[in-house]
Amino acid sequence: MSLPVSRRTFLGASGLAAATVALPSSSAAVLRRSASRPAAISSSNGLAAVNRAMELMLGGTDTLDAAIEGVKIQELDPKDNSVGYGGLPNEDGIVQLDASCMHGPTRRAGAVAALEGIKTPSEVARLVLKYTDHLLLVGEGAKRFALSYGFREEELLTPESRQLWLTWRANRGHDDDWLDVPENERLLARPTGTINLNVVNAKGDVSSVTTTSGLAWKIPGRAGDSPIIGAGQYTDNDVGAAGSTGRGEANIMVCGGFLTVEGMRRGLKPTDACVETLKRVVRLSPPRLLKDGRPTFNLSYYAVNKLGEFGSASLYPATFAVHDGKNGALRDTAYVYERRA
For the full predicted model, state whether its pTM sits above 0.85: yes
- Using alpha carbons, select from 46, 86, 66 the residue that is nearest to residue 126: 66
Q: DSSP of 202-220, one letter per residue? A: TT--EEEEEEE--STTPPT
Pick the catalytic residue from 194, 210, 235, 271. 194
Give the pLDDT of the chain (341 residues) as one tens digit per residue.
333 334 334 444 334 433 333 333 344 445 545 578 999 999 999 999 999 999 999 999 999 999 999 999 999 999 988 899 999 999 999 999 999 999 999 999 999 999 999 999 999 999 999 999 999 999 999 999 999 999 999 999 999 999 999 988 887 755 554 445 555 555 444 455 699 999 999 999 999 999 999 999 999 999 999 999 999 999 999 999 999 999 999 999 999 999 999 999 999 999 999 999 999 999 999 999 999 999 999 999 999 999 999 999 999 999 999 999 999 999 999 999 998 65
Domains, the chain, with CATH or none: 13-19+28-335 (3.60.20.30)
194 is catalytic: yes
**Parallel/antiparallel/unpaired status of strands 97-103 and 39-43:** unpaired
What's the number of CA atoms in the CB half-sphere (13 Å) around residue 293? 9
Q: Is 257 buried (19+), middle (13-18) or exposed (0-12) by CB count in 10 A?
A: buried
